[in-house]
Amino acid sequence: MNHRHKHVWYGFLVMGIASLLWFVIRTGSKPSRAAYPCQKAALVNASAWLGMLALPAIARRDALLAGPAPLRIVVLFLAAVAAAGIAGQAAGFFTSASFQPSQPAGQVVDLRLAARRLPAGTFSDIYAVQGTTGADEGFQRLIAKMEGRDQSFYALFNRDDVLILKVNSQWDERGGTNTDLVKAIVEGVLGHPDEFAGEIVIADNGQAQYGAAGSGGSLDWERNNAVDQTQSMRKVAERFSARHRVSTVSWDRLTSSRVEEYVRGDARDGYVVESSASPETGIIVSYPKFASRYGTRISFKEGIWDSGSGSYDSGRLKVINVPVLKSHSIYGVTASVKHYMGVVSDRLAGHTPHRSVGTGGMGTQMAQTRFPVLNVLDAVWINAAPGRGPRTSYSQATQVNIIAASRDPVALDYWAAKSILLPAARELGYGGADSMDPDLTRRGSFGDWLRLSLKALQRAGYPVTIDLEKVNVTVTSLEGFRVPAD
């Protein structure tokens, strides 16, 4: 072997052994980590580089058998590693170093959330349930924990109220709100101790553009975020509609129709658009006004319209905000606050709403229309890949089996980014996780615009916070919950 070839040989040896050591150390005592993107890449590298050394040696069988025993052991070991890697690739189990999850079912990351006990009765309480798929008793457990903290779920609305469940319908697969969770929330509402006699509307505006199909959102996707992936929002509503007033409405069909309020004599469905932009955040506020399937006339801002008295009942309309926790290619993170982009009409408002996310516009939108009585964050499946969301395929999603709720959307988003998104991204070995860090506040970043949204809400009198020292966090797990088997 000449001097130049010797350097190349040693280079391959170092690269192969380094990749193998990374794989072994990083995987540790959890074999399930072998499915992580960086682990797959490491084993691919190890099998490739070590194979270049071992396989030629095996081909020279006579020289190998004549060599010392330790050399034969090392070469055979390298060959075994190479063969395992090559076989794995042939089976389609491993991928290249693209940091793209490859398993159709996505990946699993086991997170353990930390509780924080503060005196009961503070506004910014967060309730989290671990080990839930959404299609189980997870939301019922959350309701029970709220009751235990003297913040009853059933104190948030009355038996004859109209509830809008604001979901994400712009994306199919794991990009949309978990329909099992939405079903559980509907069941929870219908379980009101005074016998619920009101109405539930599952709604969203996918803006009639972009989205999974390039034409906006849908409440009837073929591929949904659920255990039964055929279960759409429409099917959830139909499950209850025979006995209760539960329906869906897509604001996509209204988003290009500008209308006036009912009090001005305009009975048409559509969007009401303010005449000027917010001086603080630049958003032109807009909101839907529509009749439900059951004839109830609803103004998202003003409340329930009574044509007989010619007045609104604002107190009867409540919003439960049900976003998905995921990365965002422009704004870093999308969760409770960013989710109000599905309330506005971006088209009629001259696209100021989406541009204003970075200047706190969603805080203004919440404050000037209707603040949610509760935010229920869907973190059963998340998109932990920085900059890859909001679209999230089945294979790209990461299963962490968490739901969380708070009356404070800002505290919930800050906590969820710190406690769920960032740890999951780092566990998976993704680069660029800083884009999801709420403590980094460069202009236009998630941490920056979340604080601007906070200021917009505080100016309107809402006691929101990003100071986790002032936030109580209650964490529970489902009975019998076990960490997913390796």
pLDDT of residue 272: 98
Domain locations in the chain?
A: 3-90, 107-477
Residues 6+ apart with CB under 8 A from 354: 341, 346
Q: CB atoms < 10 A from the CB of 224, how many?
A: 25
| Beta strands, E only, 138-220 | 162-166, 199-204
Is residue 327 scored above 70 in pLDDT?
Answer: yes
Contact between residue 106 and residue 397 where contact means Cβ atoms under 8 Å apart: yes
pLDDT (mean) for 313-332: 98
Is residue 13 scored above 50 in pLDDT?
Answer: yes
Is residue 107 scored above 70 in pLDDT?
Answer: yes
Is residue 11 scored above 60 in pLDDT?
Answer: no
CA–CA distance, 87 with 433 (Å, rounded to integer): 32
pLDDT (mean) for 175-193: 98
Identify which of 478, 407, 471 has the alpha carbon closest to the alpha carbon of residue 155: 407
pTM of the model: 0.79
Is residue 63 scored above 80 in pLDDT?
Answer: no
Is residue 90 scored above 70 in pLDDT?
Answer: no
CA–CA distance, 377 with 321 (Å, rounded to integer): 8
Q: What are phi and psi of 237, to 5 degrees?
A: -60, -45
pLDDT (mean) for 474-486: 63
pLDDT tens readout for residues 409-431: 999 999 999 999 999 999 999 99
Determine whether 3 is exposed, middle or buried from the number of CB atoms within 10 Å of its CB (0-12, 13-18, 19+).
exposed
pLDDT (mean) for 283-301: 98
